[in-house]
């Protein structure tokens, strides 16, 4: 059940198929009937302004959140309907890079990367060591293997988290804001790494980001989400030339346009004059 | 008035809901125990963090409680010319009540709060989420070994507390106040029963260990993922588990020594 990575009838099917997904936080509608396809072996970007629900979408794909309605199919499995056990089996083949890195703070860099290997495989320690060193070498941090997470910069933490995410050679990696808060150099390093994961290992990637230039430079396909809907999709080329105001605003980083800068709020003047009674 | 009732009702419902969640949580944790028990290294590591690191406070407190018992007991007993029974008084108080109860209260403050803060911080920094995404169940990998370690450590700590306490009483009674050494030990040996006293004391401390650790790991796991949430959860652990220990002690004592 777990190893139809190359089975012929599925190879042209999207790895992740999201259909009509609606999701609410309390009364706020985060997603309204969203359709997204993630093609196998490609880099797909999901972009949108801060707070539009990009992280939420990754959690829905990973089965940590359940949509209110709609279907999420990952590699042929309907995620919201999976049992806990089946979900965990599926997750072994999905890597996720958290916005914060989320390294285990009581383990050093080496043990963090070794963690999924030790938990999920019976490999001898010598082989685990080789594998971990290979993954760390790939992200350029083999020399940092003895450091603990709090001795690393944010960018380094994210690279260690990437090494950990690829430890089990997953089918797919979800990157949550890989570029935020990175200097231009480590940004470049990460961009190259994500591309390398695709080219060398054929890993399907979902990159969630609001860094338009970097993301557009590596993506094969882009979805732009705003106000709970997909407002634009296509290759980076088509989006750059898109006529849609929503997409224009986002791709050209215009401060105002159809995407409001403000979280939904009562009228400003009224709020100020109400003296806290509202 | 109706508003007050409403608030009260809502608070009541919320605490019942939490109670229910706590039980479901525990069911999941217990399901992970067999698997985790096989990986004894994880448990040993936690027994160190939870138990061994609590030793100092347990030993020091046990010593002082024993010494106070020696002083107070002597002052009372000597009026009746019964100071030779000091050993009995010290040992029974410790083994039946003070050992399990006081060490559980200290354990809640020292280890319980640390467990809550640690798990709460792991939740806040998305470490638990990350584990779930790596297909590792944090209830099994993180919570179960800590829970098991708490249950293993508590009776051992209570035993240590009582043993040190007896020596504290001995030090004051025999060493300082001149109670006869032979009488101190032999009366103690005659009066303390293995089943009625020691065994019941151990049962008490196991029950307290389960209660305190359960509350601590649940509060940690159920933390609102903010700095304030962690501090509240830690406080709740200490308060709730202390109250639970005292309440359970009353019930157990009524059942055991009627
Ligand atoms: N635990 C929660 N409870 C209630 N609302 C939440 C919760 N988590 C997120 N939200 C809401 O859901 C919306 C989407 O959040 P999400 O984290 O997915 O945004 P995002 O697109 O990843 O933003 P960013 O780019 O800033 O990371 C936000 O507007 C937020 O207010
Ligand atoms: Mg986000």
Q: What's the order of all strands across the beta sheet hosting A16-25?
A: A28-38, A16-25, A69-74, A77-78
Report pLDDT digits (tens) over A18-59: 998 999 988 888 898 889 999 888 899 998 888 888 889 999
- Give the dihedral sign, CA A98/A104/A110/A113: negative
Name which residue sits closest to atom 22 of ligand 1, judged by CA. Answer: A55
Give me ligand 2 centre to Cα A258, in Å. 21
Q: At B43, list the tokens.
A: 């448990």
Contact between A64 and B141 using a beta-carbon 8 Å cutoff: no
CA-closest candidate to residue B111, choices B248, B240, B237: B237
What are the residue ranges of helices labelled H in A153-267?
A: 154-165, 184-201, 212-218, 236-240, 245-251
- pTM confidence score: 0.86
Per-residue model confidence (pLDDT) at position A10? 55
ipTM associated with this complex: 0.81
How high is the mean pLDDT of chain A?
A: 84
**B40-70 burial string, b = 16+ CB within 10 Å, else e?**
eebbeebbebbbeebeebbbebbbebbbbbb
Residues of A in contact with B38 (CB under 8 A): none
CA distance A173 to chain B (A): 11
Report pLDDT digits (tens) over B103-152: 999 999 999 999 999 999 999 999 999 999 999 999 999 999 999 999 99
B186 pLDDT more than 50:
yes
Q: What's the order of all strands across the beta sheet hosting A221-226?
A: A94-97, A172-176, A204-209, A43-47, A221-226, A229-234
Q: What is the mean pLDDT of residues B20-29?
A: 90
A4 pLDDT more than 50:
no
Q: At B200, list the tokens.
A: 């019941």
A9 pLDDT more than 70:
no
Ligand 1 mutation target, pool A54, A57, A67, most atoms within 8 A of CB: A54
Q: At B170, list the tokens.
A: 């001995």
Report pLDDT digits (tens) over B97-116: 999 999 999 999 999 999 99
CB of A55 sitting under 6 A from ligand 1? yes
Per-residue model confidence (pLDDT) at position A256? 62
A249 pLDDT more than 80:
no
Spatial separation of the C-alpha atoms in residues A143 and A127, rounded to whole Å: 18
The DSSP call for residue A252 is T
Give percent of chain B with pLDDT exceeding 70. Answer: 100
Residues of B in contact with A164 (CB under 8 A): 134
* Residues 6 or more apart whose Cβ sits within 8 Å of residue A240: A216, A251
Q: Decide: B12 and B115 in contact? Cβ < 8 Å.
A: no
CA-closest candidate to residue A201, choices A242, A223, A177, A170: A170
Spatial separation of the C-alpha atoms in residues B222 and A129, rounded to whole Å: 35
CB of A52 sitting under 6 A from ligand 1? yes
Q: Which atom belonging to ligand 1 lies closest to the Cα atom of A59?
A: 18
CB of A198 sitting under 6 A from ligand 1? no
B16 pLDDT more than 80:
yes
Closest chain A residue to the Cα of B133, Cα to Cα: A91
Per-residue model confidence (pLDDT) at position A11? 60
């Amino acid at each position: 059940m777990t190893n139809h990575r190359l089975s012929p009838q599925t190879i042209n099917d999207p790895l992740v198929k999201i259909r009509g997904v609606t999701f609410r936080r309390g009364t706020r509608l985060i997603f309204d009937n969203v359709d997204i396809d993630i093609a196998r072996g490609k880099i797909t970007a999901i972009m949108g302004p801060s707070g539009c629900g990009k992280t939420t979408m990754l959690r829905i794909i990973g089965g940590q959140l359940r949509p209110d309605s709609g279907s999420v199919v990952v590699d042929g499995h309907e995620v919201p309907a999976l049992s806990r056990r089946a979900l965990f089996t599926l997750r072994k083949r999905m890597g996720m890079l958290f916005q914060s890195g989320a390294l285990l703070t009581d383990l050093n860099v080496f043990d963090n990367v070794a963690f999924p290997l030790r938990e999920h495989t019976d490999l001898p320690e010598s082989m685990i060591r080789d594998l971990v060193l290979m993954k760390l070498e790939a992200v350029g941090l083999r020399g940092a293997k003895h450091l603990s997470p709090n001795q690393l910069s944010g960018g380094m933490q994210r690279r260690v988290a990437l090494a950990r995410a690829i430890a089990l050679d997953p089918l797919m990696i979800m990157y949550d804001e890989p570029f935020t808060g990175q200097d231009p150099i480590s940004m470049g390093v990460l961009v190259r790494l994500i591309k390398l994961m695709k080219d060398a290992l054929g890993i399907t990637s979902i990159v969630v980001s609001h860094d338009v230039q970097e993301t557009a430079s590596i993506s094969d396909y882009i979805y732009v989400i705003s106000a709970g809907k997909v407002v634009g999709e296509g290759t980076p080329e088509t989006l750059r030339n898109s006529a849609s105001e929503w997409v224009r605003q986002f791709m050209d980083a215009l401060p105002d346009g159809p995407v409001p800068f403000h979280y939904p709020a009562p009228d400003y003047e009224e709020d100020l004059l109400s003296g806290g009674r509202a | 008035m109706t508003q007050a009732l409403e608030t009260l009702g809502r608070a009541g419902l919320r605490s019942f809901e939490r109670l229910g969640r706590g039980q479901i949580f525990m069911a999941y944790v217990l399901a992970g125990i067999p698997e985790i028990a096989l990986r004894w290294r994880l448990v040993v590591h936690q027994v160190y963090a939870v138990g061994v690191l609590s030793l100092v406070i347990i030993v020091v407190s046990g010593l002082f409680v024993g010494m106070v018992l020696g002083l107070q007991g002597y002052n009372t007993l000597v009026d009746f010319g019964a100071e030779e029974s000091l050993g009995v008084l010290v040992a029974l108080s410790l083994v039946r009540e003070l050992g399990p109860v006081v060490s559980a209260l200290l354990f809640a403050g020292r280890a319980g709060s640390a467990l809550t803060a640690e798990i709460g911080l792991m939740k806040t920094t998305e470490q638990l989420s990350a584990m779930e995404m790596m297909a590792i169940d944090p209830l099994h990998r993180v919570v179960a070994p800590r829970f098991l370690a708490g249950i293993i450590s508590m009776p051992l700590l209570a035993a240590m507390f009582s043993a040190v306490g007896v020596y504290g009483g001995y030090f004051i009674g025999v060493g300082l106040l001149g109670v006869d050494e032979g009488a101190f030990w032999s009366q103690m040996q005659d009066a303390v029963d293995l089943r009625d006293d020691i065994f019941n004391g151990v049962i008490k401390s196991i029950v307290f260990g389960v209660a305190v650790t359960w509350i601590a790991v649940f509060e940690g796991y159920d933390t609102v993922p903010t700095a304030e949430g962690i501090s509240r959860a830690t406080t709740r652990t200490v308060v709730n588990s202390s109250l639970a220990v005292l309440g359970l002690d009353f019930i157990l004592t009524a059942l055991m020594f009627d």
